[in-house]
Structure 1
Amino acid sequence: MSSNLNDTLVEKTVTYTLEMNGKFYLIENVPARINPETEEQFFSPSTVERLQQIIYDQQEPIRIVETPVYNFAA
């Protein structure tokens, strides 16, 4: 008996992260469907469109987060 992947996905909100042109972007409260076994995230086409709009339009962020950076080959 095979199970449908959509039956196992759980609706949640996540923090989406993106690195672009040497800058990191965090977008909170993004609706996603999550595979509970693998934690893989799936986004609807309209959500992906909105994510791109937020980043490319350089909208005013709600806050700025300072992030430490480490070198793995230290």
Structure 2
Amino acid sequence: MFKCHVCGSQESHADWVSEIFKIQGNFYLVENIPAMVCSRCGEEVFSRETTERVRVMLNQETEPIRSIALGVFSYDEAV
């Protein structure tokens, strides 16, 4: 049974999400991750199996399917 650890809601839905991970100063986008998403606050929860698969994907020497440019902003530099 799902219970959101952020807002306590028990309502969720399955979805496919994207997450950005920062590893040793480098950013990696992982798309199409299966997740349970809280219907109230949007918090994303991954199964242990999914978390392990993403960890292995990012820590092995596998090549990404493509690369993208990433714009960088700094909040403390904002006007």
| TM-score interval (norm. to shorter) | 0.7 to 0.9
Partner of 1:27, secondary structure, is strand
Amino acid at match of 1:23: N
Show structure 1 runs of 5+ residues with no match. Answer: none
CA distance in 2, matches of 1:73, 1:22: 19
Runs of 4+ aligned residues of structure 1 deviating over 6 Å after TM superposition are none
1:10 aligns with 2:13: yes
What is residue 34 of structure 1 aligned with on the other side? 37
Q: How does 1:1-74 map to 2 (within 5 A)?
A: 5=3, 8-74=11-77
Query: How far apart are residue 21 of structure 1 and its match?
Result: 0.9
When the two structures are superposed, what TM-score results if normalisation uses the length of structure 2?
Answer: 0.80
CA RMSD of aligned residues (A): 1.6
Show structure 2 runs of 5+ residues with no match. Answer: 5-9
